[in-house]
Amino acid sequence: MAAVPVAVAALLVAAGPAAAGTVGSSGAGDAYFPLSGNGGYDVRHYDLTLGYDPQSRHLDGKAVITARATQRLTRFDLDLKGLKVTGVTVDHAKASYRRDGQELVVTPRHSLRRNQEFRVTVTYSGTPKPATDPDGSPDGWIPTDDGAFVAGEPQGAMTWFPANSHPKDKASYDFTLTVPKGHTAVANGILRGQSTSHGHTTFRWRQSEPMAAYLATATVGKFKVEQYTTRDGLKVYNAVDPREATAAAPVLKKLPSVLAWESGVFGPYPFRAAGAIVDRAPQVGYALETQTRPVYDSAPDLSTLVHESAHQWFGDSVSLTAWKDIWLNEGFATYAEWLYAEQHGGKTAQQTFDSLYASPAGSGLWAFPPADPGSGAHIFDTPVYARGAMALQKLRTAVGDGVFFRILRTWATEHRGGHGTTAQFVSLSERLSGKDLGALFHTWIGTAGKPTSP
């Protein structure tokens, strides 16, 4: 090539099609959270080693991420917000990296072939800061008076580990969590070991079934721990803030029967572990269905326990491919609450539907269609939960109980450990009922405003 001024050559490289074709994109293509997740690879496993000091709020982290390239890659991103990165290697070779907002941009020494499996190691440290969701609530690593409440929906995973933070990319996890003696660190899945030395305790957790990054937790606090195995062989681990213990006990005692009831309705429980983390965190204002072991910011009521448990099927095992479809999580978990009440001496689901339908046309309930909240700011609003559940009640009355419950079970079974979309749910409902349900779904999940008839 003839002499080209350096600046122009750089421009050519940056804009050249060859370069663009080998750079992993900075987002997974989600309309509501364009920078969540990344393109060009698929994570198989996260191995997270974390040390946390509740007093200084300092976190030391090492993430070893095993992934497979889905295209040739000269560069790719991970999501990470805040914290200081101290080193990145790809397959043991030092990689160069830079920070760009929530993107950790990694350039491996050697480019990666399509389908190549590779291992990224990121070491980092600092004081994790919670993210603020578009709806104003805190999310991610949320410090408490004795540790941290860790809940990452929708965007909080990146506040404490480098992740491909979109539910499209699910992976297995190992956690090695070290905290000062007297504190407990609780993650997802099975507790594989616990040991104390030099004033610190290390907890090793394994989540072997695939999990979306937002469902990971590593909650730290001073907890009362309870462990047992249910009659169905489920390993239960509950960690409860002593200040919430009295209020939580009667509800937590029902966890095995709630899971057994839900298994009867939705099909087999999708994981080997279960439990609850009850951690007083007044600033949080919500519970989250962290996989196998939901986190509650205070002692939950029974309805909330039923809700977060139902998410283990709907949201955790069967995951979203786009945040726009959030009603597949929240509408279903809310409907589980209605069904539980109906089958345990409370209101019928139809009665709950009827009292909601009585809401005036100007009510927030009708503000937008559940299947399109419009933006990330509205994914946890009433239409997603209540009107989403109303849509399921409409489906139930249209197809009859037998077919309806077969639809729910088939949905959980056919998509177990994977993903589902609204379009797939609609077509499953039509396939199993033999009915054209286009108008019903259009009215109840696809159109804003109060439907003209209940």
Chain residues that interact with ligand ARG, rule: CB under 6 A: 133, 135, 137, 139, 153, 286-289, 307-308, 311, 330, 380
- Residue 133 interacts with which of ligand ARG, Zn ion, none, CB < 5 to 8 Å by class: ligand ARG
* Residue 61 CB-density burial (10 A; 0-12 exposed, 13-18 middle, 19+ buried): buried
Cβ proximity to ligand ARG: between 41 and 214 the closer is: 214
For the chain, the straight-line distance linking the first and the last C-alpha, in angstroms and rounded, comes to: 72
Of the candidate spans 2-10, 326-334, 351-359, 427-435, the one that interacts with Zn ion by CB under 5 A turns out to be 326-334
User: Does residue 337 interact with Zn ion by CB under 5 A?
Assistant: no
Of the candidate spans 232-240, 291-299, 328-336, 422-430, the one that interacts with Zn ion by CB under 5 A turns out to be 328-336
Measured over the CA atoms of residue 61, residue 66, residue 43 and residue 33, the dihedral's sign is positive
Pairing state between β 184-186 and 219-221:
antiparallel
User: Does residue 330 interact with Zn ion by CB under 5 A?
Assistant: yes
Q: At its nearest, how many Å lie between Zn ion and the CB of residue 230?
A: 23
User: Does residue 349 interact with Zn ion by CB under 5 A?
Assistant: no
Q: At its nearest, how many Å lie between Zn ion and the CB of residue 329?
A: 6
Q: In angstroms, rounded to a whole number, what is the distance separating the alpha carbons of residues 33 and 164?
A: 13
Smallest CA-to-CA distance from 290 within 218, 377, 206 is with 218
User: Does residue 379 interact with Zn ion by CB under 5 A?
Assistant: no
Cβ proximity to ligand ARG: between 312 and 393 the closer is: 312
- Residue 405 interacts with which of Zn ion, ligand ARG, none, CB < 5 to 8 Å by class: none
Q: At its nearest, how many Å lie between ligand ARG and the CB of residue 156?
A: 7
Pairing state between β 41-53 and 171-180:
parallel
Q: Is the separation of the CB atoms in 275 and 236 below 8 Å? A: yes
Q: In angstroms, rounded to a whole number, what is the distance separating the alpha carbons of residues 280 and 420?
A: 33
Q: In angstroms, rounded to a whole number, what is the distance separating the alpha carbons of residues 183 and 196?
A: 11
Q: In angstroms, rounded to a whole number, what is the distance separating the alpha carbons of residues 297 and 280?
A: 5
Q: At its nearest, how many Å lie between Zn ion and the CB of residue 25?
A: 29
Measured over the CA atoms of residue 26, residue 28, residue 32 and residue 36, the dihedral's sign is negative
67 strand-pairing partners: 43, 118
Q: At its nearest, how many Å lie between ligand ARG and the CB of residue 168?
A: 17
Q: In angstroms, rounded to a whole number, what is the distance separating the alpha carbons of residues 415 and 384?
A: 21
Cβ proximity to ligand ARG: between 69 and 328 the closer is: 328
Q: In angstroms, rounded to a whole number, what is the distance separating the alpha carbons of residues 189 and 276?
A: 11
- Residue 381 interacts with which of ligand ARG, Zn ion, none, CB < 5 to 8 Å by class: none
Q: What does the block give as tokens for 379?
A: 């994914």
Cβ neighbours for 266, distance < 8 A, ≥ 6 positions apart: 310, 313, 314, 336, 408, 409, 412
- Residue 153 interacts with which of Zn ion, ligand ARG, none, CB < 5 to 8 Å by class: ligand ARG
- The site for Zn ion, by CB under 5 A, has a size of 2
Q: In angstroms, rounded to a whole number, what is the distance separating the alpha carbons of residues 24 and 22?
A: 6
- Alpha-carbon Rg for the chain, nearest whole angstrom, is 23
Q: At its nearest, how many Å lie between ligand ARG and the CB of residue 322?
A: 16
Q: In angstroms, rounded to a whole number, what is the distance separating the alpha carbons of residues 144 and 408?
A: 38
Q: At its nearest, how many Å lie between ligand ARG and the CB of residue 219?
A: 15
Q: At its nearest, how many Å lie between ligand ARG and the CB of residue 152?
A: 9
Cβ proximity to Zn ion: between 222 and 324 the closer is: 324
Of the candidate spans 130-138, 217-225, 323-331, 413-421, the one that interacts with Zn ion by CB under 5 A turns out to be 323-331
Cβ proximity to ligand ARG: between 137 and 397 the closer is: 137
User: Does residue 69 interact with Zn ion by CB under 5 A?
Assistant: no
Cβ proximity to Zn ion: between 128 and 152 the closer is: 152
User: Does residue 333 interact with Zn ion by CB under 5 A?
Assistant: yes
CB atoms within 10 A of CB 332: 25
Of the candidate spans 65-73, 154-162, 227-235, 330-338, the one that interacts with Zn ion by CB under 5 A turns out to be 330-338
What DSSP line would sit under 192-239, residue for residue?
EEEEEETTEEEEEEEEEEEE-GGG---EEE--EEEEEE-TT-PEEEEE
- Residue 139 interacts with which of Zn ion, ligand ARG, none, CB < 5 to 8 Å by class: ligand ARG
**DSSP 8-state code for residue 116:** -
- Residue 286 interacts with which of ligand ARG, Zn ion, none, CB < 5 to 8 Å by class: ligand ARG
Of the candidate spans 209-217, 329-337, 420-428, 431-439, the one that interacts with Zn ion by CB under 5 A turns out to be 329-337
Residue nearest ligand ARG by beta-carbon distance? 137
* Residue 406 CB-density burial (10 A; 0-12 exposed, 13-18 middle, 19+ buried): middle
Cβ proximity to Zn ion: between 112 and 274 the closer is: 274
Cβ proximity to Zn ion: between 333 and 339 the closer is: 333
Residue nearest Zn ion by beta-carbon distance? 333
Cβ proximity to ligand ARG: between 59 and 288 the closer is: 288
Cβ proximity to ligand ARG: between 353 and 380 the closer is: 380
Q: Using CB under 5 A as the criterion, which residues of the chain lie in contact with Zn ion when the complex forms?
A: 330, 333
